[in-house]
A and B are shown apart, each in its own frame.
Chain A
Amino acid sequence: MTPPAEPAHKSNAMRWLPLAAFGLLALLLLAGVILSRDGNREALPSPLIGKPAPAFELPVLHEAGRLVTSQELAGAPYLLNVWGSWCPECRVEHPILTKFAESKRVRVIGYNLKDEHSDALRWLEQFGNPYWLVLTDYTGETAIDWGIYGAPETFLVDGDGIIRWKHVGPMSEATIRDELLPVLAEVEAR
Chain B
Amino acid sequence: MKFYRSLAVPALIWYVLFILGPLILILVTSFLQRGPYGGILWNFQFDNYLKLFKFENLMIIGRSLQLALTTSLVATFLGLICAWGIVCSSGAWRSMFLGLITLPFLTNSIIRIYSIKLFVGTSGPVPIILNYLNLNYDPTDWSTSSALVMYGMISSYLPFAVLPIYGAFEKIDLSLIEAAQDLGAKSWNILWKVIFPVLKPACAGAFLLVFIPTLGEYLIPDLLGGAQTTLIGNFLTEQFLKSRNWPMGSAVAIGLMVSLFGCYFIYKKARFKKAVL
A and B interact physically: no
Interface residues of B, Cβ cutoff 8 Å to A: none
Interface residues of A, Cβ cutoff 8 Å to B: none
